[in-house]
Chain A
Amino acid sequence: MTQPHIRLTDVEMTFPRPDGVGEGIHALGPIQLDLRHGEFFAVVGPSGCGKSTLLELMIGLTSPTKGSITFEGQPINGSCPDGIGVVFQEDASFAWLTVRDNIAFGLRRMALDRREQDERVDKALAMMGLVEFADAYPSQLSGGMRQRVCIARTLVTEPRLILLDEPFGALDQQTRLLMGDEILSLWRKTGATIFLITHALDEAAMLADRIGVMSSRPGQLIDIVETHWPRDRDSRIVEQDAFGAVTARLWRSLRVESMKAIGKKEASS
């Protein structure tokens, strides 16, 4: 009946080796995943397991070696469909533009009158706590603030699916919790589907409706945890017993994989 918002079927990615010889690097998959309209989905996994690769496949930056991806029923091949917004793991702010112009960058090529554009930018500035830095350049901001500029730049285009790749990596724990609240309220207000990649288990447990746990490379979904949180949750959810239970389950699934990622064998079994 209801179509998934984005659907990945048997998706696999193998990168050719830089020297072109040998088998290539099997980075990801096979992956099966349906994201429901309006859900908050988080992905956790050891570093190097293919999370960023997965994200690049979902926006058509790379084509999968095998399998297919559809967004709102349409296959993705080669280009990012309108309606998807991305925040990359690396700092993608434009050094030569002010914070305000950075945020407005994607809006400028949309068919919106200037007043509406300015309103959206002002709203995003307020939401991301960047009002007093509107006329600053990224070089004058901290790494965390620059990442917020990138989030704001994505938000203003009002995407229906928002993909975030470890957006809070550069933030301290307290700011992370507060940014989590911002993302949650944004998610509620916009009704967008959110796909959040993170390496922080507590962040995933606090924010998401469902959490996909990935194995070490080649990354596969080895567990999907449902949190059953109410929609109007916020960071205070960390006080609940259920939060501890979710985090514990994530860690149980991930422990062995994380050890593989740092090159250790399971000591006791």
Chain B
Amino acid sequence: MSASTRRLFANMGWLTLAILVLWQGLYALIGDIALRSPVSTLQFTAKFITTPQFVTHLTETLKAFVLALLIAVTSGLAIGFLLGLKRFASEIFEPFLIAIYSVPKITLYPILLLIFGLGLSAKVAFGAIHGIVPIALFTLNAVRNVKPVLLKTSRVMGLSTGATIRTVIFPSALPEIFAGIRIGFSLTLIGTLLGEMFASQRGLGFLLMNAIGLHNVDVIVMLTFLLTGFAGMAGIVLLLINRRITAQV
């Protein structure tokens, strides 16, 4: 483990501790009406996550998220490369993509529901549309910004278009593309959960919505805790991969 990685983990440890202290403090202020203490949350979580009910919902969310992420990454990369390689096309479509990026996707949800109906595909679609645009935008820029002299070099070496994309453009653009994937990852997660909250009978998002309806504070706090933990952990993993990629640049 490198020194910087060790520092990262140390920082994460301190951050976790700080959050726990804050949480405890907040609990002392608010009390049981809207919050649970860290200790009782952990106890409740430990009990709850072994129930078959929870496992079903978790699997459902994971399935939807992984599918959505796959779609977001592949289409985002495809759009980004197609537009990035054609300067003219990118000039036309980039403002369009940025416009889509700033539209609250929730306004599109009714349309998606009409197309896909209630269930997995609507959630996946809703998750994916959150992730596609940032990944496409980052990829587009990364591809367009590849240094011209590198493209000249590949032309002089007689590389085919495919080989140029594979061995020059992609690796050169990868650090920036990966930054897009990191953002796409979190947005896809948000999208998937939102999809589950508003129109689904399964998944963690549904559990959360349900708990809000029943004012089940135990479940609400537990889910917040689990999702935050997952997002945090995934964030660290992505950051580590990112560091490895950019170490050379």
A residues whose Cβ falls under 8 Å from a Cβ of B: 56, 59, 61, 79-80, 82, 84, 86, 88, 90-92, 94-97, 105-106, 109, 137-139
A137 close to B248 (CB less than 8 A): yes
- State the Cβ distance, B53 to closest chain A Cβ, in Å: 47
Q: Given A94-B168, A95-B249, answer yes or no on A109-B155 (Cβ-Cβ < 8 Å).
A: no
CB <8 Å contact, B158 and A95: no
Residue of A nearest to B248 (CB): A137
B152, B156, B158, B168 interface centre (most CB from chain A within 10 Å): B156
Question: A79 to chain B: which residues have CB within 8 Å?
Answer: 155, 158
Task: Determine whether the beta carbon of B147 is less than 8 Å from that of A109.
Answer: no
Q: How many A-B residue pairs have CB under 8 A?
A: 51
Across-interface contacts of B158 in A (CB, < 8 A): 79-80, 82, 109
Q: Are A90 and B248 in contact (CB under 8 A)?
A: no
* Nearest chain A CB to B74 CB, angstrom units: 22
> A79-B158, A82-B158 in contact; A96/B248 too (CB < 8 A)?
yes
Q: Which of B149, B152, B159, B247 contacts A91 (CB 8 A)?
A: B149
Interface residues of B in 147-168 (CB under 8 A from A): 147, 149-150, 152-153, 155-159, 163, 167-168
CB distance from A186 to the nearest CB of B (A): 19
Q: From residue B177, how far is it (CB to closest CB) to chain A in Å? A: 12
B contact face: mostly helix, strand, loop, or mixed: helix
Most buried by A among B150, B157, B158: B157
Name the 7 nearest CB pairs between A and B, nearest first: A137-B248, A90-B149, A96-B171, A80-B156, A92-B149, A92-B153, A95-B249
In the complex, B239 has a CB within 8 A of chain A? no
The contact size tier of chain B is 10 to 19
User: Given contacts A96-B249, A139-B248, are A59 and B147 in contact (CB under 8 A)?
Assistant: no
Distance A86 CA – B147 CA, assembled complex (angstroms): 16
Interface secondary structure of A, over-half rule? loop
- Chain A residue, CB-CB nearest to B167: A105
Q: What residues of chain A lie closer than 8 Å to B156, measured between beta carbons?
A: 59, 61, 80, 84, 86
Query: B249 to chain A: which residues have CB within 8 Å?
Result: 95-96, 139
Q: How many angstroms from the CA of A96 to the CA of B248 in the assembled complex?
A: 6
Residue of A61, A82, A106 touching B152 (CB-CB under 8 A):
A61
Does A94 contact B155, Cβ atoms closer than 8 Å? no
- Minimal beta-carbon separation of B45 from chain A (angstroms): 42
Q: Enumerate chain B residues within 8 angstroms of A90, measured Cβ to Cβ.
A: 147, 149
Provide the bound-state CA to CA distance between A71 and B11, in Å: 61
- List, in ascending order, chain A residues with CB within 8 A of B247's CB: 137
Residue of B nearest to A138 (CB): B248
Q: How far is the CB of B120 from chain A (nearest CB, A)?
A: 38
Distance (whole angstroms) from the CB of B162 to the closest CB of chain A: 12
Residues of B within 8 A of A137 (CB): 247-248
CB-CB nearest in chain A for B170: A96
Nearest chain-B residue to A140 (Cβ)? B248
Residues of B within 8 A of A106 (CB): 157
Chain A residues within 8 Å of B174, by CB: 96
